[in-house]
Amino acid sequence: MARVTQGMLLQTMCQLCDFFASLRLCGGFLIYLLLLKTPDMNGLHLIAELHGDCRCEPRLLRSVDALRELCLAVCTVPGLTPVGQIFHQFGSDAEPAGATGAVILAESHLAVHTWPETNAVTLDLYVCNFSQDNSVAARAACGQLIAAFAPMRVERRDVERGTCSKAPAV
């Protein structure tokens, strides 16, 4: 017996939707709308570049320990669930030169990179919205990170991920 995958099922539903739509039946349009709202891979990806002389404590840009503490605190407060972490200190203990870190979340991940030499930070926070909408928690965490670094200028992009209107290629 052939195994039916979710992609195959979605493709078949899209074909049925096209069939109903060709018959000009209202049901075809409703099926199409339901397919657009399929929760597959839906998520929110927040990407930010913090420029212009971040006015935070210099330690936050230089110390891997300070960055780790901030990232874990920010991920815990809004209800995200840290399940793993890795952080790296650049430079040396005597002359730190920035840090990078990632927190693996049950909902996905947070990655932050600091450049103390330019007082800049980049951050990347992605949450999956499969079983529940984590967008509010992600936006709160991102806002707290931005506030902690206190940049003069922020370039932020909010990207809705995983929304597809057609069946995936099989």
- Annotated active-site positions, please? 108, 113, 128
Residue in 56, 55, 78 with CA at minimum distance from that of residue 67: 56
For tokens 């992605």, what's the residue? 126
- The token pair at 116 is 């103390």
Decide: 141 and 110 in contact? Cβ < 8 Å: yes
* Burial (CB count within 10 angstroms: exposed 0-12, middle 13-18, buried 19+), residue 80: buried
- The token pair at 139 is 């936006």
